[in-house]
């Protein structure tokens, strides 16, 4: 094979004092490796050098007898030369200097091949993740650049995480596998810079996720070096994540329920709220500073994206928190009102209602989490039922009240034939209740059908649209009409009161309890010829939240039953229309 003269042929190697490196060893290896390669003494390749070559008294590569000798290498081959003290090991552990990717002089075959690694200065081992270099090397050894190092354990690839110059340049790395060791003897950096890269823009800015081995949840989560997409096993809450590299996209898939805890620096979560995961949830984060992450996406196990809204307009819409944090731990009746709170907690075993006998409602606007584990009960707290009559005079029945929020009342009954019983009241978003019957032995007409809905919609706040507010609502129905009185001098039944109204608007709702706004039953007649009252209509329930943490509670807005008569004379009051759902 043709030979080309090595560029160090005939060179004199001197120490820091300017004296020849007498007896030093000059090892030759295949470029970028610790595999030995043979150099020859002549262009014909007929006589080989020893490996290592021992420097003579003048510090020159010798022929073994003390005479200087040229060094030739095979055409098309690049080599690495390592100068080491006398008695050092093979490969050296205390190298003096290293030169890599050396082509022979005028070797067009070798020079046409560009190696992807550039040989750097000889490194000094500091730790399993750091080394030092003489001089200011921060421009070449900059954050994000890839490295290849030679260690006692073999070749190792790493990424620079920090590079700081004081008296030396200290380079900190994240290793792809294993670790640097005390046998560190050489370092090369990638031809392609991590800054202003020569790679095409489309390629350079592609986000690529690599699946790594599963990692166990921990307070300080430790990711592997084998990817940036991991399954997280276990249920230990997470408050921080180890440093990976500034700008790194990290995606986590959770196999169980745990809490991601907000931290203003280490783990920034939207609006400063902790996130409770369930199996199948995924989050995406970016490392914006070393060891500090910010969440950019949360996809729930049902495929929905948890929309994280801007704090200021959402908070203004919910209220000013003037009522503070509201907790109810024992059964309590409170006045109908609209309350602005930072948190609402109706605890298990607690029933919350209103003190008013009628036209009652509760509205909570909560900027934090509304927890409904107990019971909200506004049965019969809506429109007032029409009164019954002793039919001593010829008068019509009394209409039930209309209702804007709560359910409409049932109608009372009229007097003797042929006057009508009272109409059932009308309801907001519903039609009028049916008229009471004018004939005995005939039922009154039921109230109009109840409206139910579960939908998503858009709300505009401070000029900005905020999508996907989940709504679970039951709209109150009209009360039933009253039955007519069948004779004179008899007492008729009163109509039942409608159900009350409950509205909860919150950032998050944890709903595992019960909400009930049923209409009251119509009153039975007290005489065989008296008509009975109509049932009150079911009430009104509306829940609005950005996120339902739990949504397994029960909502009922059942209409009241019409009263009954003693015998066949006189008509029954009709039922208020009713419905119930279990939220999902």
Q: What is the pLDDT of residues 536-584, one digit of tens each?
A: 777 778 888 777 777 788 888 777 776 665 543 333 444 444 433 333 3
Q: Are 76 and 109 in contact (CB under 8 A)?
A: yes
Q: Which residue has the higher pLDDT, 321 or 422?
A: 321
Burial of 164 per CB tally in 10 Å (0-12, 13-18, 19+) = exposed
Residue 454 to residue 411: CA distance in whole angstroms = 30
**Which of 197, 148, 137, 122 minimizes the C-alpha distance to 171?**
137
255-310 tens-digit pLDDT: 999 999 999 899 998 867 788 888 999 999 999 998 899 998 888 776 555 544 33
Q: Are 170 and 160 in contact (CB under 8 A)?
A: no
349-377 tens-digit pLDDT: 999 999 988 778 888 988 889 999 999 99
CA atoms within 13 A on the CB side of 367: 21
Q: Which residues pair with 25 in a beta bridge?
A: 54, 84
17-50 tens-digit pLDDT: 889 999 999 999 988 888 899 999 988 888 999 9
Of the listed ranges 58-62, 335-339, 535-539, the one predicted with least confidence: 535-539
Q: If residue 551 lies in a helix (H) or strand (E), which one and from where to where? A: strand 540-551
Q: Where are the beta strands (DSSP E) in 410-539?
A: 451-461, 464-475, 501-511, 514-516
Total Cβ atoms within 10 A of residue 460: 10
Percent of the chain with pLDDT strictly greater than 70:
68
Q: Are 182 and 106 in contact (CB under 8 A)?
A: no
Q: What is the mean pLDDT of residues 127-140?
A: 91
CA atoms within 13 A on the CB side of 86: 9
CA 511 from chain centre, in angstroms, equals: 21
Residue 538 to residue 476: CA distance in whole angstroms = 5
Structure tokens that stand for 195 in this block: 């800054």
Burial of 108 per CB tally in 10 Å (0-12, 13-18, 19+) = exposed
Q: Are 546 and 537 in contact (CB under 8 A)?
A: no
Burial of 205 per CB tally in 10 Å (0-12, 13-18, 19+) = exposed
**Which of 110, 94, 92 minimizes the C-alpha distance to 102?**
110
Q: If residue 134 lies in a helix (H) or strand (E), which one and from where to where? A: strand 130-134
Q: What is the mean pLDDT of residues 397-417?
A: 46
Ranges 80-94, 400-414, 422-436, 464-478, most confident: 80-94
Does the pLDDT of residue 128 top 90, yes or no?
yes
The reported pLDDT for the residue numbered 180 is 94
Total residues found in the chain within this entry: 584
Structure tokens that stand for 490 in this block: 């008899």
Angle (nearest 5°) at CA 82 between 81 and 84 = 150
- Nearest-10 Cα torsion for 543, 544, 546, 551: 10
Does the pLDDT of residue 311 top 50, yes or no?
no
**Which of 194, 90, 210, 103 minimizes the C-alpha distance to 150?**
90
Q: Are 353 and 492 in contact (CB under 8 A)?
A: no
229-233, strands of its sheet edge to edge: 215-216, 229-233, 249-254, 282-289, 292-299, 267-268
């Amino acid at each position: 094979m043709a030979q080309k003269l090595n560029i160090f042929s005939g060179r004199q190697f001197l120490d820091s004092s300017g004296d020849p490196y007498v007896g030093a060893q000059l090892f030759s290896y295949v470029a970028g490796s610790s595999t030995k390669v043979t150099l020859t003494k002549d262009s014909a390749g007929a006589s080989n050098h020893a490996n290592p070559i021992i420097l003579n008294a003048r510090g020159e590569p010798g022929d073994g007898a003390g005479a200087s000798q040229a060094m030739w290498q095979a055409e098309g081959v690049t080599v690495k030369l390592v100068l080491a003290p006398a008695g050092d090991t093979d490969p050296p552990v205390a190298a003096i200097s290293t030169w890599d990717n050396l082509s022979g002089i005028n070797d067009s075959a070798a020079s046409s091949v560009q190696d992807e690694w550039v040989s750097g200065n000889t490194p000094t081992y500091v730790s399993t993740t750091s080394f030092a270099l003489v001089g200011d090397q921060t421009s070449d050894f900059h954050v994000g650049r890839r490295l290849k190092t030679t260690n006692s354990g073999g070749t190792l690839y790493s990424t620079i995480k920090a590079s700081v110059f004081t008296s030396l340049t200290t380079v900190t790395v994240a290793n792809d596998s294993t670790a640097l060791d005390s046998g560190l003897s050489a370092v090369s950096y990638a031809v392609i810079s991590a800054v202003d890269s020569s790679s095409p823009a489309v390629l350079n800015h592609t986000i690529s996720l690599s699946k790594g081995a599963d990692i166990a949840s921990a307070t300080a989560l430790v990711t592997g070096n084998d990817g940036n997409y991991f399954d997280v096993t276990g249920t230990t809450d997470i408050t921080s994540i180890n440093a990976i590299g500034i700008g790194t996209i990290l995606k986590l898939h959770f196999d169980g329920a745990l809490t991601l805890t907000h931290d203003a620096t280490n783990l920034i979560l939207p609006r400063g709220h902790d996130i409770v995961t369930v199996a199948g949830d995924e989050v995406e984060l970016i490392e914006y500073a070393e060891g500090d992450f910010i969440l950019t996406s949360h996809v729930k196990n049902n495929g929905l994206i948890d929309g994280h809204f801007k704090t200021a307009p959402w908070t203004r819409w919910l209220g000013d928190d003037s009522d503070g944090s509201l907790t109810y731990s024992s059964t309590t009746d409170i006045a109908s009102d609209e309350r602005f709170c930072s948190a609402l907690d109706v605890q298990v075993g607690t029933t919350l209602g209103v003190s008013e006998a009628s036209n009652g409602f509760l509205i909570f606007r909560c900027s934090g989490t509304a927890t409904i584990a107990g019971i909200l009960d506004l049965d019969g707290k809506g429109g007032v039922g029409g009164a019954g009559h002793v039919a001593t005079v010829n008068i019509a029945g009394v209409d039930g009240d209309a209702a804007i929020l709560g359910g409409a009342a049932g109608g009372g009954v009229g007097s003797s034939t042929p006057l009508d019983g009272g109409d059932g009241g009308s309801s907001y978003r519903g039609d009028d209740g049916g008229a009471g019957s004018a004939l005995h032995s005939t039922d009154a007409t039921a109230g109009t059908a109840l409206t139910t809905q579960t939908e998503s919609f858009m709300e505009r706040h401070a000029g900005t649209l905020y999508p996907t507010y989940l709504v679970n609502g039951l709209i109150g129905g009209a009360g039933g009409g009253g039955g007519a009185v069948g004779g004179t001098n008899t007492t008729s039944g009163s109509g039942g009161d409608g159900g009350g109204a409950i509205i909860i608007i919150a950032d998050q709702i944890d709903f595992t309890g019960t909400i009930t706004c049923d209409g009251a039953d119509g009153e039975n007649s007290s005489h065989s010829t008296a008509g009975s009252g109509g049932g009150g209509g079911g009430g009104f329930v509306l829940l609005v939240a950005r996120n339902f943490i739990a949504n397994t509670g029960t909502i009922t807005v059942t209409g009241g039953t019409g009263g009954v008569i003693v015998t066949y004379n006189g008509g029954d009051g009709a039922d208020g229309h009713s419905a119930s759902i279990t939220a999902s």
